[in-house]
Structure 1
Amino acid sequence: MSVERRHSSSRRSLRIAVAALSLIPILAGAAGVLLGPAMLGKVSASVDLDSHFRYLSGVFLALGLVFLSTVPAIEHHAARFQLSGLMVIAGGLARALSFWIHGAPTLPHLLGLGMELGVMPLLMVWQWRVARRDRGRVD
């Protein structure tokens, strides 16, 4: 397979991966906006905690839409993609702090932690490589 064909295949695969993974924050964010902390099950929350949860869910929803907006020309949206990725990693580090202070959360939150501190950095490297190759600097 030629270098250009491999690059085209990598770019297409990255677009598919990012489009699919963008659905996680979009759907979870929308559920959090609409349901508040109740989306986690039988959770009792103060008015302030409900407000904060819904606010952060709106941010999460918007972040998913930002990632989705990079998909059509992902090789040209490096700054947007990388900054959004850093936001995800920052959230993952905050979640890791909670894990350290309070112990392990439920499985969905552990999976989120894996996405934030494992998958996201890998996607950032993949996007960087695709963007770099698109500028004519083939590895």
Structure 2
Amino acid sequence: MPPLAIRLAALVPLTAGAAGVLTGAGFLGEAAGPATDSHLRYLSGLLMGIGILAWWCAADLKRRGGVFTILVLIVALGGLARLAGVVGQGRPPTPHLLALGMELLVTPGLWMWWRATRAGAEAEPRPGDLYRWLGGA
């Protein structure tokens, strides 16, 4: 079940990323200059790439688990950066708070679910074996 849930969750960055790539700052409903628009389109492309990579990982979590783990860490890092913005700048609009929930709750939750379902299928790696912890062979 985790692969299906991961693919469903991947639709969020795929669609939001595509919308940002196509519309730039217009996706946010705010005016922006060329530099801000360019930066938002770039970040939207990265977001779309995150969705594509998550979709790819879900197809074979046994072999791609290490990539999925790193992807989750990247998404959570982005969520922490967004959270710092909330603390420093105040409450953003609701869609941004929903994104924060995806970044700090849903994505790590999917990773934990995948790890829990995989724990019964194979022996857990030793604490010092980082490569195996990341999903390697």
Contact residue 28 and residue 61 of structure 1 kept, 8 A: yes
- Residue 18 of structure 1 corresponds to which residue in structure 2? 6
Which structure shows the higher helix fraction?
1
Report whether the alignment pairs 1:30 with 2:18. yes
Aligned-pair distance for 1:126?
1.4
- Residue 135 of structure 2 corresponds to which residue in structure 1? none
Unaligned runs of 5+ residues in structure 1 are 1-12
User: How does the TM-score come out when normalised to structure 1?
Assistant: 0.83
- Residue 70 of structure 1 corresponds to which residue in structure 2? 57
Secondary structure of the 2:59 match is: helix
C-alpha distance in 2 between matches for 1:102 and 1:88: 21
Count of paired positions? 124
C-alpha distance in 1 between matches for 2:61 and 2:52: 14
User: How does the TM-score come out when normalised to structure 2?
Assistant: 0.85
Residue range with higher mean Cα deviation, 127-136 or 20-29: 127-136
Root mean square deviation of aligned Cα: 1.3
Aligned partner of 1:129: which letter? A
State the 4+ residue runs in structure 1 displaced beyond 4 angstroms: none
Contact residue 74 and residue 131 of structure 1 kept, 8 A: no
Unaligned runs of 5+ residues in structure 2 are 125-137
2:102 to 95, 102, 115: 115
C-alpha distance in 1 between matches for 2:43 and 2:120: 35
Residues 12-48 of structure 1, C-alpha deviations (whole Å, 9 max, x = no match)? x11111111100000000000010010111x111111
Residues 44-100 of structure 1, C-alpha deviations (whole Å, 9 max, x = no match)? 111111111000000000010000001222233211111000111011001001101
- Percent sequence identity is 37
